[in-house]
Amino acid sequence: MRGILVVCLAMLCAGLAPGQAAANNYGAIAYSTATGAHGWSIDYPSRSAAESVALQNCRKHGGDCIVPIWVRNGYAALAVGSGNAYGSGWGTTRGLAESFALQSCRKVAGNCAIRRWICTTR
């Protein structure tokens, strides 16, 4: 009984009625290694929509953009280092996403720093 109460309280805090599923929100970060341009998106109903918007936003700044990271209901980060090399990561907190992005960037480059982080609404 206690478990059911906890689930119901969590759903009420999230603004959900019993039996109603939580919405998934997607976000993405796009990046160009040629120019260093980047773009992002948050709170789209699908991965493909989030990636498309991130790519459009990146291309506005020039370059051949790719989507190295997308996220559903969480955080994502892009770290960029020497020579426009990059790393990306995601997590349940900003700190985790940034830590994973920096770790993956440092495997291929020096002087890595966070260029962009995003968080979807949960």
Considering only residues 49 and 122, tell me which one the structure prediction assigns the higher pLDDT. 49
DSSP tag of 33: T
Contact 120, 26 (CB under 8 A): yes
Q: What is the pLDDT of residues 26-81, one digit of tens each?
A: 999 999 999 999 999 999 999 999 999 999 999 999 889 999 999 999 999 999 99
Give the CA count within 13 Å in the CB-facing half-sphere of 18: 6
DSSP tag of 36: -
Instruction: Assess whether pLDDT exceeds 80 at residue 4.
Output: no
**pLDDT category of residue 6 using cuts at 50, 70 and 90:** very low
Instruction: Assess whether pLDDT exceeds 90 at residue 18.
Output: no
Predicted structure pTM score: 0.82
Q: What is the pLDDT of residue 122?
A: 75
User: How far apart are the C-alpha atoms of 85 and 117, rounded to whole Å?
Assistant: 17
Q: What is the pLDDT of residues 78-110, one digit of tens each?
A: 999 999 999 999 999 999 999 999 999 999 999
| Residue-range domain boundaries for the chain | 22-119
User: How far apart are the C-alpha atoms of 122 and 71, rounded to whole Å?
Assistant: 11
Show the tokens assigned to 2: 């206690």
User: How far apart are the C-alpha atoms of 119 and 83, rounded to whole Å?
Assistant: 27
- Report the DSSP beta bridge partners of residue 30: 39
Show the tokens assigned to 37: 């341009």
